[in-house]
């Protein structure tokens, strides 16, 4: 039988960028979920048995050379030179039918030279959260890594309590982080040049004939723009990442490394989803600013190649792109396709009201798309409807300038605002079931989150705003 092959293009880099590591196999393992949608998209013809082998680190039937990547990065504002894949291995690349290479990365694969004091393992709780959240963001049209499969075992891992071990097979076109550039620049100009060449050849072959300086400038511009677009989308969908360290930022502008993230329940601009983040460095309303801060750190790695003015140009691209995209994403949520001069105020006023009354963010838009008279559910959710009167009048005037009927407008709102959201209490319910061996809610939610704008009748009870005890759950970094 021919062994399924995963190539390993990362090996063309100097060996300071990685270490060869074999996974610590996971005992008594069991496949919890396979992401059929992603499997079909990439035309991955691997059986469940093969996927379980990959997830449990049984690589004998595979032709692959797993590695742990070396990188550094800023964590909570401080540079840490000791980072790298501490509990994940890049197994190699799957080449799809369009000849695109997809990294297969096994998260929770065991210790590596970069594990420091960690055990190299992942627990079921955190892998479920990443698995579902990445599908949720993909479903909402936000760039993100995804995962092909999730497996667990009877092995227990020590966290605050003992928890079931699990692994996640993460898939994306690149596992190169901002921190890779920080690391390369810290090693030397030659290593940085090799990394830039690698990234250009792999992801931007159209720039292959440009000068080195032009390549570096294009690359930095592109990363700044993509990062700004991603964060504009986070803000619009009401997503708080929680650990925006530069080692958790992908150079492709994809949401990367899910930890204590949260989707809003009630809108609260100061919301901090990570309860270890005591200063609120990564609070919801800091995300856009931290995005540019991270780009600035990245740009620091290019400081010997680019002039200050060129770096400022890239950072300006971030600011301009973010501002434009935030407005257009928010307008889409309001069912508005075009952009007019006062739209920024319309959005700013709405955000002010949502924040003042801390209304359920998702429910507000969903009900706006269903409003039909004064007795509607939307008006019932407003504590003082009078305070919203002026805003609704402005919205009505604005909507009149859009094409189509009132019904068309409402349909656009429903098409752009999810009926179901992976709120933290829901993720918690799914995790508790999974820890008891019931993976049905997980798989049911996986499918639902892949089409979040549709009504999902069987999940109807989750389409309401959560009860007081279920609201605003914040989590620690522990994973």
The least CB distance from residue 122 to Mg ion, in Å, is: 11
Rank residues 118 and 390 by Cβ distance to ligand AMP and give the closer one: 118
When the beta carbons of 123 and 420 are compared against ligand AMP, the nearer one is: 123
Q: How far is the CB of 478 from ligand AMP (least distance, A)?
A: 9
The binder of ligand AMP chosen from 55, 83, 133, 327 (CB under 6 A): 83
120: partner contacted, choices ligand AMP, Mg ion, none (Cβ within 5-8 A by kind): ligand AMP
Q: How many residues bind ligand AMP (CB under 6 A)?
A: 17
Residue 38 DSSP SS3: helix
- Least gap, CB of 260 to ligand AMP (angstroms): 9
With CB under 6 A as the contact rule, the residue among 134, 174, 240, 248 that binds ligand AMP is 248
- Interatomic CA distance for residues 249 and 258, integer angstroms: 11
In whole angstroms, the minimum distance from the beta carbon of 159 to ligand AMP comes to: 9
Tokens of 455: 């009504």
Tell me the closest approach of the beta carbon of residue 433 to Mg ion, in angstroms: 27
What residues contact residue 361 under an 8 Å CB cut-off, 6+ apart?
Answer: 238, 264, 265, 266, 267, 354
Q: Which of 31, 119, 344, 394 binds ligand AMP (CB under 6 A)?
A: 119
**Comparison of 51 and 123: residue with beta carbon closer to ligand AMP:** 123
Q: Which two tokens stand for residue 295?
A: 């780009």
- To ligand AMP, the closest distance from the beta carbon of 85 in angstroms equals 5
Task: Please report whether residue 103 would count as binding Mg ion according to CB under 5 A.
Answer: no
**Part in contact with ligand AMP (CB under 6 A); list of ranges 85-93, 312-320, 328-336, 440-448:** 85-93
Taking a C-beta distance cutoff of 8 angstroms, is the pair 215, 196 a contact?
yes
Transcribe 165-177 into DSSP letters: EEEEEEEES---B
Q: Which of 9, 115, 296, 470 binds ligand AMP (CB under 6 A)?
A: 115
CA distances 212 to 51, 75, 182, 262, 273, Å, are 40, 30, 18, 40, 41
Among 24, 53, 85, 329, indicate the residue that binds ligand AMP (CB under 6 A). 85
> At its nearest, how many Å lie between Mg ion and the CB of residue 74?
12
The verdict on 120 binding ligand AMP (CB under 6 A) reads: yes
- Residue with token string 């092909």: 148
Cβ neighbors of 410 (< 8 A, separation 6 or more) are: 335, 368, 369, 370, 371
Q: Give pairs for 187-190: CB < 8 Å, separation 24+.
A: 187/16, 189/304
Q: Are 165 and 123 in contact (CB under 8 A)?
A: yes
Q: Which span (113-121, 263-271, 400-408, 465-473) binds ligand AMP, by CB under 6 A?
A: 113-121
CB of 318 to ligand AMP, least distance (A): 22
Per the annotation, the verdict on 247 as an active-site residue is yes
Site for Mg ion in 239-278 (CB under 5 A): 248, 257
Residues in the chain: 479
Q: Which of 74, 121, 317, 423 binds ligand AMP (CB under 6 A)?
A: 121
- Is 19 a binding residue for ligand AMP by CB under 6 A? The answer is no
Binding status of residue 362 toward ligand AMP by CB under 6 A:
no
Do residues 181 and 193 touch, judged by C-beta distance below 8 A?
Answer: no
Regarding 134 and contact with Mg ion (CB under 5 A), the answer is no
Q: Please answer whether residues 259 and 243 qualify as being in contact, where contact means their C-beta atoms are separated by less than 8 angstroms.
A: yes
69 binds ligand AMP (CB under 6 A): no
| Of 115, 155, 147, 109, nearest in space to 130 by CA | 147
**CA-based angle 270:276:282, to the nearest 5?**
40
Let me know how many helices (H) and strands (E) the chain has, helices first.
Answer: 15, 12
Nearer to ligand AMP, 92 or 259 (CB): 259
One-character DSSP codes across 69-137: EB--EEETTEEETT-B-SSEEEEEEEE-TTS-EEEEEEET----TT-TTS-S-EEHHHHHHHHHHHHHH
**56 contacts which partner out of ligand AMP, Mg ion, none, CB within 5 to 8 A by kind?**
none
* Under rule CB under 6 A, residue 360 binds ligand AMP: no
Residue 122 to residue 116: CA distance in whole angstroms: 15
Among 66, 164, 238, 259, binds ligand AMP (CB under 6 A): 259
Angle (deg, nearest 10), helices 189-203 and 212-237: 70
- DSSP label of 3: P
Q: Which of 247, 257, 277, 360 is catalytic?
A: 247
- Give how far the C-alpha of residue 65 lies from the chain's centroid of Cα atoms, to the nearest Å: 27
Q: Is 226 in the site for ligand AMP (CB under 6 A)?
A: no
Q: Which residues bind Mg ion (CB under 5 A)?
A: 248, 257
Q: Which residues bind ligand AMP (CB under 6 A)?
A: 83-87, 114-115, 118-121, 243, 248, 257, 259, 477, 479
Query: Catalytic amino acids?
Result: 247
């Amino acid at each position: 039988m021919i062994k399924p092959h995963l190539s390993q293009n990362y090996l063309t880099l100097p060996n300071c960028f990685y270490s060869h590591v074999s996974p610590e196999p996971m005992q008594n393992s069991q496949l919890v979920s396979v992401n059929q949608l992603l499997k079909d998209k990439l035309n991955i013809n691997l059986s469940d048995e093969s996927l379980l082998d990959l997830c449990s680190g049984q690589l004998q039937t595979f032709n692959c050379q797993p590695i742990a990547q070396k990188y550094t990065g800023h964590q909570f504002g401080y540079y840490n030179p000791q980072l790298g894949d501490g509990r994940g291995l890049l197994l190699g690349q799957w080449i799809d039918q369009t000849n695109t290479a997809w990294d297969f990365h096994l998260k929770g694969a065991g210790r590596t030279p970069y594990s420091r004091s960690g055990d190299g393992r992942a627990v079921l709780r955190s892998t479920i959260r990443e698995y579902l959240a990445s599908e949720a963001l993909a479903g909402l049209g936000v760039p993100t890594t995804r995962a092909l499969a999730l497996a667990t075992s009877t092995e227990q891992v020590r966290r605050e309590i003992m928890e079931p071990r699990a692994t996640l097979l993460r898939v994306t076109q690149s596992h190169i982080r901002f921190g890779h550039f920080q690391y390369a620049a810290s090693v030397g100009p030659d290593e940085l040049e090799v990394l830039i060449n690698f990234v250009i050849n792999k992801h931007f072959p159209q720039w292959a004939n440009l000068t080195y300086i032009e390549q570096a400038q294009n690359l930095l511009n592109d990363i700044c723009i993509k990062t700004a677009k991603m964060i504009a989308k986070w803000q619009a969908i009401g997503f708080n990442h929680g650990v925006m360290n530069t080692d958790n930022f992908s150079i492709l502008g994809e949401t990367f490394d899910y930890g204590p993230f949260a989707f809003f329940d009630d809108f609260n601009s100061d919301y901090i989803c990570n309860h270890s983040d005591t200063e609120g460095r990564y609070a919801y309303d800091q995300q856009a600013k931290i995005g540019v801060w991270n780009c600035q750190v990245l740009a620091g790695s290019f400081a010997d190649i680019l002039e200050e003015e060129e770096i400022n140009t890239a950072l300006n691209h971030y600011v301009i792109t973010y501002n434009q995209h935030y407005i257009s994403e928010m307008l889409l949520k309001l069912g508005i396709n075009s952009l007019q001069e006062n739209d920024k105020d319309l959005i700013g006023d709405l955000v002010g009201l949502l924040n003042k009354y801390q209304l359920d963010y998702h429910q507000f838009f969903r009900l706006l798309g269903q409003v039909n008279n004064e007795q509607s559910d939307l008006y019932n959710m407003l504590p003082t409807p009078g305070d919203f009167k002026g805003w609704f009048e402005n919205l009505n005037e604005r909507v009149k300038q859009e094409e189509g009927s009132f019904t068309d407008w409402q349909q656009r709102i429903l098409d752009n605002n999810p009926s179901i959201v992976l709120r933290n209490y829901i993720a918690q319910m799914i995790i508790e079931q999974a820890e008891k061996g019931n993976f049905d809610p997980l798989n049911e939610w996986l499918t639902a989150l892949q089409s979040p704008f549709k009504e999902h009748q069987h999940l109807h009870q989750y389409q309401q705003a959560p009860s007081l005890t279920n609201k605003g759950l914040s989590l620690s970094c522990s994973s």
